[in-house]
Structure 1
Amino acid sequence: MKFEELGLHEGLLAGIRDAGFDALTPIQEGSIPPAILGSDVTGQAQTGTGKTAAFLIATYQRLHASDRQVARQEGCSLPRALVLAPTRELVVQIEKDAAVLGAHTGLNTLCVFGGVDYEKQRKQLEAGDIDVLVGTPGRLMDYLKQRVYDLKQLQVLIIDEADRMFDLGFIDDLKWLFSKMPGPDRRQTLLFSATMGFNSRELARRFMNEPVFVSATPDQMTAEKVRQALYHIGSREKIPFLLGWLKRMGEQATRIMIFINTKRMGEKLQDYLAANGYESGYLSGDVRQTKRLSVLSRFQEGKLPILIATDVASRGLHIDGVTHVVNFDLPLDPEDYVHRIGRTARAGTEGDALTFCDEYTAENLPAVEKYIGMKIPVEWFEEAELVTPIEPPRSARKPKESSGRDGGKGRGGRSERGERGGRRRSEQPSEAAPQADEKVVVAQVAPPVPAPEAATAVEGEGVKPKRRRRRRKPADAGQVEGGGESVAPVVEAVVAASAQPVAAPVEPSASETQPEPSKPKRPAARKRPAVASAQKGEAKIDSAQAVPAQEGGGVLKAGSVLKALFSESNEG
C-alpha cells in the first residue's frame, strides 16, 4: 500500500518523501487508517518496523483535520499532541523524525528532557507556539506543575515503548499526567510497543476508549534477517575473545554495538578497548546528557566504530548501518534481548548478533530462548582465538562522568572518595589510636606512684582502695605476716630517733610580738585528718599534732604513728 492512497495532507506527503518512505510497513498499514479516523490504537511490532513514523503521520493528519479551539497564549503553551517516551535518547530520536515528517506541515514540535539546559527549554515552552510536545515523564511533570504549559486543549496522546515505561517505574507519573488532561472520551490515545505485556494491556483497558489492537509481529520474535550466535564462555575469557573477534573481523565489522548489564563493566570494557587500539564510545545513565548526545551523534554519523551501552540504548533508536550487535552480558530480562539485537538488520537489511553466556548469566538463557520461541544457535571457539589483552593503565580505570546537576562529576567518585577520603585518610595517625612506637614508649615508662595526699583525697571522695584480706595468725605482735622477721627493732629505732629532746623555744620580746602593719597575716595551717588510732578505746592521733614524750620532754611524732599502725595491723 502506498502513502498516496491514504489521502494525506500534501505537506505531510512531502515530508514522507523527504524521509524516503514509499510503501507502508505492516504496522503502518494496520494502524494509520483507524488512527486517521479518530480511533484509539494499540500497536505491537518489532523494532525497526516503522512504529514511530506510524503514530507521527497519524498525529499530523489528525491535527491538520481539526483546528485549534483556543488561540495560543503568551507565557503558556497549549500543545495539541503529547508524546511520552521512557528515555532521553528516544525523545531526541522522535523529535528528529518529527522534524523531517512535519517540515512542510507548519506544525511546531518541541522535546523536553532532563540533563540539559532547564531554562532554555522553559523559555521555549513559555513562547506558547508548540503543537506537538515530546518528552520524558519527569521533565513534563515538572513544567506542568509550574504551569509553563497546559493540557486542557490536548487532542492526541501517544505512549511509545509502553512496556519500558513500566520497567522504569513511570506508572505513577503516567497516572498523574492522565489526571491533568481530557478524559479518554475527549482525546485520542495511541499506544505502541515492541512487546505488549500485562501492564500495557491493563493500561489500555483503563485509560483508552475501545482501542483497536494491531499486531504486526511474526511467529519469530526476533528480526528474521539477524544471524544469531551463542558462545558459552568463561567470564575471564570474554575480553580476550572479543579482542580476537575484532581482530579477525577487521573491516567487515564497521559499526558495532556492544551491550553490557552494568555501568562498571562498561567502563572497564572501554578502558581495555582503548588500551588495545580500538576507539569506542560509552552510553549509560550516569554519563551526562550532553556527552551522551555527542557520542550517539558520532556513532550515527559513522565517526565512531564501536558503541558500548547499557539498555538505555536498546529501545527505539534508529541507527542505520549497524553490522553487528554483541551481547557482552546476557540480559536479565528476555525482552531486552529482542530489543538489543533489533538494533541491527533494520529496514530489510541483514546483521549479526553475538551473545556471550558465562557462568554468571547462564541461568538467564532458558528464559530468553523461551521468550523468543527458538534455540539460539551455539558456536564454539578455539583457544587460539583468544588474544592476550594489554592491560589499561591504572589512571584510566576511573569512573565515568555522571549526569548530575554539577556537570556529571558526581561527588568525587572513587578517585575522590576512595583515595582521598579513604586510603589517604587512614594513613594519617589518629589521636584516639596511637602509633605502635608510641605504645612501646608508654610501656617502658613506669606508672607514677600517687602521693599520700592524693590517695587521701581519693578516699575522701568516697573511692576506697581495695584492701587485701589477711589471714589471722597466732603470731607475735612484732612479727610481720608472711615475712618471718620481727620489725620491732626497726620501730624502736625510729621511736628512739624521734624521741630526741628538743630545745625549749625562746620567748619573744614585747617588741617582737607586735605584728608589722605592712605584712599580711599568714593563713592558718590546714589540719590533716587523723590516719590511725593507737589502741581500741583511745583517741585518734593527728600526725600533725605534737605528742609529749615520756622521756626528755621532747616531741614524738613519727614513732608513735608507726607503732600505732603496726599494732592495728597485727590486731586486724
Structure 2
Amino acid sequence: MFDFDMLGLAPALNDALKRAGFTEPTPIQNQAIPLAMAGHDVMGLAQTGTGKTLAFGLPLIDHLMAQPGKPAPKTAKALILAPTRELTNQIAESLRALTEGTRIRVATVVGGQSINRQITTLGRGTDILVATPGRLIDLMDRGAVDLGAVRHLVLDEADQMLDLGFIHALRKIAPRLGTPRQTMLFSATMSKQMEELSRAYLTDPRKVQVSPPGKAADKISQSVHFVDKPQKPARLREILSRDLDALTLVFARTKHGAEKLMKGLVADGHNAASIHGNKSQGQRDRAIKAFRDGTVTTLVATDVAARGIDIPGVAYVVNYDLPEVPDNYVHRIGRTARAGREGEAIALCTPEEADLLHQIEKLMKVEIPVASGTKPALTGAPGRGAGQPRRRGAKPGAQSRGEKPAGPKRRRPRRRRAA
C-alpha cells in the first residue's frame, strides 16, 4: 500500500489527511492500520518519530465515526494513556486536526492544569479521552469520570510508562474499563516487562515491528565531541553559533542543570528557554509554543520532554549530558529528522561519561563518529564490566570506592523475658 486512500478509511478522514499534507503512510502506519481496522489487538514497535500517533489514531477515529450516538455525561468511548503531559497534549492536537468538522470530540486530562475545568469538560462526555495515568486516577477517585463505556484502549510509549512506575496506575484503571474492548500498545523498545504487559492486557495481539529496538532514524546524522567537563559550555556555544536561526533542542541531565544552562545561554545573548519538572505546565506549554513558532531557537530540556516534543522543524539535538538510560538517547535524538526531514544529533562526552556512551553504542550497534577529541578509555567499576548493572542492593558508586554493597540488615536476636 502506498497511500492512505487504499487503507479503507472513512472519506472524511482521507479528506482530513490531505488537508494536513499526509499522502503516504509510514511503514508502521501501513502495517498497523489494517490490523486495527479489522478489530485486532495490536502491539506496535517502532522508533520515535515514525508516525505511531496516526497508526493508532486513524483506525480509532474510523471506528468511532461508525458508531451512532453521543457519549453520555462523564463517559468516554476510547482512552489513550501517555506517560507525560507534553506527549498527551501532542496526541490530542494531532487527533483534533483529523476530527475537525466531525462530531468526534477529543478531551485531555493532565496534571498541572485546573482539575475543576477538567471535571466540567468530562461532565459533557467525550469520544476520545487522552490522559496521563496519575491525573486520571484523581478524577476517577472524585467520581468525575466513568470508564465503563470505554471499548478502545491505547497505551502509547508504554515502555516509558513502565520506567516511570505507571504500571500500578494501570492496574487501577484497567478493571474500570468496559469489555470487550480493543487494546493497542505502542512502544519504542521491547523488554521482558513489556512482554508481560502485553500478555496481561492484550488478547491475541498482532505484532508489528518496523525497526529494531535502539535504532535511530536513518536521516539523523550523529557525531560526538570528547571534552573535559569544564569545556562543555564553550563547546555548546560554538555549536549553537554555527546556525543561530536553527531550532536546537539541548538535553541536560538534571532540572537544576537545565535551568542553569539556559540562564547562561540567555546571558550570552542566545534566544533560549527551558522545560523541566520544576516548571509549571503553563510555563512548559509556553516554552514549547515559542520554540515551535521560532521565537525561541534553543530549548533546554530534561528527559521529561524526550518523547513529548513533535516539532518537525527541529534541526539539531545536542546531548549536553549523556542520558544514564541508553534507550533515552534514541528517544532524545528522535526529536529531529521528523516527518521525513533530515537532522543532526551531537553529543558532548566527558571521560566520566565514556561508559554511558559505550552502552548507547552497544544498544544501537553502531559507533558514533568522532567530531573532535580523543575517545577515552572505559572506566567500568572494579569487579564488573563497564556499564553493567549494579548488584542488587548495592549503593551507587559503592564498588568504585571499595565499599561492600549494601545487603539486608541483620536482626539482633531478641532476649527472652524471664517467666
TM-score bucket of the superposed structures, by smaller chain: 0.7 to 0.9
Report the AA paired with residue 317 of structure 2: V
Alpha-carbon offset, residue 286 of structure 1: 1.0
Which has more radius of gyration? 1
Contact 2:189/2:214 (8 A) holds in 1 = no
Other-structure match for 2:16? 15
CA distance in 2, matches of 1:207, 1:223: 29
Give the match for residue 37 of structure 1.
38
Among candidates 149, 152, 172, match of residue 148 of structure 2: 152
* Of 293-302 and 212-221, the range deviating more from structure 2: 212-221
Of 233, 243, 249, the residue aligned with 1:250 is 243
Q: For residue 210 of structure 2, what is the aligned residue in structure 1?
A: 216
Aligned to 2:228: 234
1:104 paired with 2:105, answer no
Please list, as runs of the form range in 1=range in 2, the aligned pairs for 1:474-553 lying within 5 A after superposition: none
1:134 is matched with which residue: 130, 133, 139?
A: 130
CA-CA distance at 1:219 after TM superposition:
8.5
Quote the offset at 1:21 in angstroms. 0.7
| Contact preservation (8 Å) 1:325, 1:343 | yes
User: CA–CA distance in 2 between the matches of 1:356 and 1:291?
Assistant: 27
Q: Does 1:81 align with 2:78?
A: yes
> How far is the alpha carbon of 1:316 from its aligned partner?
4.2
- Paired residue for 1:118? 115
Task: Quickly say closer, same or farther: Cα 1:220–1:113, change in 2 above 3 A.
Answer: closer
- How many residues were matched structurally? 373
Maintained 8 Å contact 1:231/1:379: yes
Give the aligned partner of residue 174 of structure 1: 170
SS in 2 for 1:122: helix
Q: In 1, Cα distance between the equivalents of 2:162 and 2:219?
A: 29
1:77 aligned counterpart, secondary structure:
coil
Larger RCO: 1 or 2 (CA < 8 Å, sep 6+): 2
How big is the shift at 1:293? 0.3
Is the 1:231–1:356 Cα contact (8 Å) retained in structure 2? Answer: yes
Separation (CA, whole Å) in 2 of partners of 1:15 and 1:109: 16
Aligned pairs (5 A) from 1:117-516: 117-128=114-125, 130-183=126-179, 186-217=180-211, 221-247=215-241, 249-251=242-244, 254-380=246-372
Indicate conservation of the 8 Å contact 1:84/1:160, yes or no.
yes
Q: Which whole-Å deviations, capped at 9, do the CAs of 1:78-123 have from their partners, x for residues lacking one?
A: 2110000000000110111011011133101100111111111111
Question: Partners of 1:232 and 1:72 in 2: how far apart?
Answer: 56
Task: Return the alpha-carbon distance in structure 2 between the equivalents of residues 250 and 102 of structure 1.
Answer: 37
1:3 Cα deviation after fit? 1.1
Scaled by the length of structure 1, what TM-score is found? 0.63
SS at match of 2:208: strand
Shift >6 Å, 4+ stretches: none
Unaligned runs of 5+ in 2: 375-419
Secondary structure at the counterpart of residue 131 of structure 1: strand
Segments of structure 1 that go 5 or more residues without pairing to the other structure are 383-572
> SS in structure 2 opposite 1:346?
coil
State the 1:250 CA deviation: 3.5
- How far apart, in 1, do the equivalents of 2:71 and 2:89 lie? 25
* 1:384-430 Cα shifts (integer Å, max 9, x gaps): xxxxxxxxxxxxxxxxxxxxxxxxxxxxxxxxxxxxxxxxxxxxxxx
Which one of the candidate residues 76, 87, 91 is aligned to 1:94?
Answer: 91
Residue of structure 2 equivalent to 1:50: 51
Please identify which structure carries the higher strand content.
2
CA distance in 1, matches of 2:116, 2:200: 35
Structure 1 Cα separation of the partners of residues 27 and 71 of structure 2: 37
Q: Contact (CA 8 Å) 2:251, 2:303: kept in 1 or not?
A: yes
The one-character-per-residue Cα deviations of 1:426-447 (angstroms, maximum 9, x if unpaired) are xxxxxxxxxxxxxxxxxxxxxx
Which amino acid is 2:147 matched to? L
Q: CA deviation at 1:381?
A: 5.4
Which amino acid in structure 2 is aligned with residue 26 of structure 1? P
Rounded to whole Å, the distance in 2 between the matches of 1:156 and 1:101 is: 18
Please give the secondary structure, in 2, of the residue aligned with 1:352: strand
Cα RMSD, aligned residues only: 1.6
Q: How big is the shift at 1:152?
A: 1.2
